[in-house]
């Protein structure tokens, strides 16, 4: 639960972001998400050079799923650390991260794949109608895309915003070619704080809609 002092600091930060960015092409709901990413990273490139890209159904599909208590599958534990836990409790969403599962470690060794890839494959059924949030491992995003193409899973939203130099850009480019709701960005930047920020912003939109209903 955020304190009054904490909320005032956050509000001031959001005012600064609005002021420094000025005019932009994002919709009001998209801007809530982009602004949250900038707030989490202090990196204004996410509204410019490394801008956030939204599938046309991304936000609506995500908030519908969150409201129903969908699973949220993540690539690394660092993503979980950035989540607002009160929101998860409120809607009953289950967090799934298999990266440290002994079965994943053993299978990754046998198949010569990364643990991130193997952990996504293990969670294929759990990510049906759920949200996949990948902030660290491009190989995890590539695996999810492959599973979607194989028809073995159908997430409500794929957040694909891995950071890095090897396959990060390529995995995001590939994500934008599939017919599943996604939120991603251009370029090498990204990271677990970005993935967490997107989920938190989606909850913020959901709660605002619930209050106005």
The residues annotated with a catalytic role in the active site are 39
**CA–CA separation, 85 vs 129, rounded Å?**
21
**CA–CA separation, 110 vs 158, rounded Å?**
27
| Residue 74 CB contacts under 8 Å (≥ 6 apart), including other chains | 80, 95, 96, 97, 132, 133, 134, 135, 195
Question: For 4, left (φ over 0), alpha (ψ -120 to 50), or beta?
Answer: alpha
- Total Cβ atoms within 10 A of residue 52: 20
Helix (H, G, I), strand (E, B) or coil at 134: strand
Closest by alpha carbon to 34, among 169, 205, 165, 198? Answer: 198
């Amino acid at each position: 639960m955020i304190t009054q002092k904490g909320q005032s600091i956050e509000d001031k930060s959001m005012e600064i972001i609005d002021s420094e960015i000025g005019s932009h092409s994002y919709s009001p709901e998209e801007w809530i998400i982009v602004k949250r990413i900038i707030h989490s990273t202090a990196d204004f490139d996410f509204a410019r050079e490394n801008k956030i890209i939204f599938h046309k159904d991304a936000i609506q599909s995500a908030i519908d799923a969150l409201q129903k208590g969908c699973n949220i599958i993540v690539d690394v534990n660092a993503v979980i650390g950035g989540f607002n836990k009160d929101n998860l409790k409120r809607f009953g969403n289950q967090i799934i991260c298999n990266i440290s599962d002994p079965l994943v470690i053993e299978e990754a060794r046998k198949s010569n794949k990364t643990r991130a890839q193997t952990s996504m494959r293990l969670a294929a059924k759990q990510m049906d109608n759920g949200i996949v949030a990948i902030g660290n491992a491009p190989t995890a995003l590539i695996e999810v895309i492959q599973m979607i193409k194989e028809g073995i899973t159908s997430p409500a939203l794929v957040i694909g915003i891995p950071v890095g130099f090897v396959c990060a850009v390529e995995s995001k480019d590939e994500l934008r070619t599939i017919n599943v709701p996604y939120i991603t960005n251009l370029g090498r930047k990204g990271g677990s704080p970005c993935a967490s920020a997107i989920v938190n912003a989606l909850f913020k939109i959901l709660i605002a809609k619930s209050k106005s209903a």
